[in-house]
């Protein structure tokens, strides 16, 4: 029992190859969308590097003293670098603390592993600080960088890492796994909403995301139909926000993508939200296509700016004002 997700087998073979050939890359960059278990994969690999007697498949044995310490999260050669708060940057102070630890030898005979999660949260100063760690060979140390947006990392860091891309699993495999988790109803819609990432689809199901998306969509539609004022909707979106604003903007952008697809005569099954097709089709008739493209760009830029944007309320209001103008002009 490996504990890996079914879609990670081939990725594991690659990692196992490093272990069996005793060619452990000093830097490893795991990329891919959220919700596929990148962190779990990184921890399995870390456990295997730290274990005294990995099994034939290179998995950690789970019984040795190193494994016990790892499981108790007290292994001195396992370090985790993450922001103090989700969505915030990893500051230079974290890299300074890391540098101090790296100056010493690993305490056990196996590897020392440092996981950065998410590595794309390194800011300029901390990325530069970390680059120095990567440039100076450190004894038996492996850095694992987890990133959704690897292009946010400086090229100088990326080029020093072995890259492993965690692709979204095959749809049938993802649906089969969701079924084992008890997700049978609406599994396809959930998976579509999660852009194919099974763990995110499961989380969406637990959060009642289909109903939420429906509510947000209806409110957005009401602005276009003149049934609701943008300000009223902005307040509701702010108040009833059990979701990350990123998720909301991802949904918003998916409605826009579908509008653009419909404008290009795409079939319903090609849409990201096939269940919203008829409402979207009705909406399309009253939209100026050129303005729609510009609005879509604005939503994408806003989503990218979220980690730096301090006032999310203003951002949402601005997007809804534009939407109100676009849909009612």
Q: State the residues that interact with Zn ion by CB under 5 A.
A: 51, 60-61, 64, 67
Whichever of 66 and 146 has its CB closer to Zn ion, that residue is 66
Whichever of 64 and 268 has its CB closer to Zn ion, that residue is 64
- Among candidates 58, 61, 63, which has minimal Cα distance to 21? 58
Q: Which helix (H) or strand (E) holds 262?
A: helix 245-263
CB of residue 66 vs Zn ion: minimum separation in angstroms? 5
CB of residue 56 vs Zn ion: minimum separation in angstroms? 13
How far is residue 285 from each of residues 272, 274, 278, 291, 328, measured CA to CA in Å? 19, 18, 12, 13, 11
Contact 295, 309 (CB under 8 A): no
Whichever of 34 and 61 has its CB closer to Zn ion, that residue is 61
Whichever of 67 and 89 has its CB closer to Zn ion, that residue is 67
CB of residue 324 vs Zn ion: minimum separation in angstroms? 60
Rounded to 5°, angle at Cα 50 from 120 and 92 = 30
CB of residue 71 vs Zn ion: minimum separation in angstroms? 9
| Positive/negative CA dihedral, 285, 287, 288, 289 | negative
Whichever of 61 and 266 has its CB closer to Zn ion, that residue is 61
Whichever of 110 and 205 has its CB closer to Zn ion, that residue is 110
* 298 HSE (CA, 13 A, CB side): 16
Whichever of 61 and 304 has its CB closer to Zn ion, that residue is 61
CB of residue 44 vs Zn ion: minimum separation in angstroms? 12
- Among candidates 288, 296, 289, which has minimal Cα distance to 253? 296
CB of residue 80 vs Zn ion: minimum separation in angstroms? 19
* Residue 70 DSSP code: H
Q: Residue 257, Cβ neighbours under 10 Å: how many?
A: 17
Rounded to 5°, angle at Cα 173 from 167 and 176 = 140
Whichever of 65 and 97 has its CB closer to Zn ion, that residue is 65
CB of residue 51 vs Zn ion: minimum separation in angstroms? 3
Contact 223, 255 (CB under 8 A): no
Distance (Å, rounded) from C-alpha 268 to C-alpha 329?
27
The structure tokens 């991802």 sit at: 250
Report, in angstroms and rounded to the nearest whole number, the Rg of the chain calculated over CA atoms: 23
SS3 258: helix
CB of residue 64 vs Zn ion: minimum separation in angstroms? 3
Distance (Å, rounded) from C-alpha 239 to C-alpha 256?
23
């Amino acid at each position: 029992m490996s504990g890996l997700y079914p879609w990670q087998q081939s990725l594991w073979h690659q990692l196992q190859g490093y272990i069996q050939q005793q060619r452990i890359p000093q830097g490893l960059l795991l990329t891919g969308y959220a919700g596929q278990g990148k962190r779990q994969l990184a921890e399995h690999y870390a456990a295997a590097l730290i274990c005294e007697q990995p099994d034939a498949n290179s998995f950690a044995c789970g019984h040795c003293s190193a494994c016990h310490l790892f499981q108790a999260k007290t292994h001195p050669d396992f370090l985790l670098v993450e922001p103090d708060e989700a969505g915030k940057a990893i500051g230079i102070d974290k890299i300074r603390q890391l540098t101090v630890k790296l100056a010493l030898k690993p305490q056990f005979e196996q590897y020392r592993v440092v996981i950065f999660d998410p590595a794309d949260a390194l800011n300029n100063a901390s990325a530069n600080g970390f680059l120095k760690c990567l440039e100076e060979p450190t004894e038996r140390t492996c850095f694992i960088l987890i990133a959704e947006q690897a292009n946010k990392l400086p090229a100088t860091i990326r080029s020093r890492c072995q890259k492993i891309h965690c692709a979204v699993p095959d749809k049938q495999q993802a649906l089969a796994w969701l079924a084992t988790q008890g997700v049978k109803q609406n599994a396809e819609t959930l998976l579509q909403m999660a852009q194919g990432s099974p763990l995110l689809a499961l989380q969406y199901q637990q959060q009642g995301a289909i109903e939420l998306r429906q509510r947000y969509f209806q409110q957005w539609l009401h602005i276009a139909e003149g049934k609701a004022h943008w300000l009223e909707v902005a307040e509701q979106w702010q108040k009833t926000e059990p979701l990350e604003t990123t998720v909301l903007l991802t949904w918003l952008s998916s409605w826009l993508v579908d509008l653009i697809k419909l404008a290009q005569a795409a079939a319903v099954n090609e849409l990201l939200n096939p269940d919203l097709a008829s409402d979207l089709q009705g909406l399309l008739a009253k939209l100026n296509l050129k303005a729609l493209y510009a609005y879509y760009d604005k939503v994408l830029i806003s989503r990218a700016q979220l980690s730096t944007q301090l006032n999310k309320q203003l951002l949402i209001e601005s997007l809804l004002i534009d939407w109100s103008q676009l849909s009612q002009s």
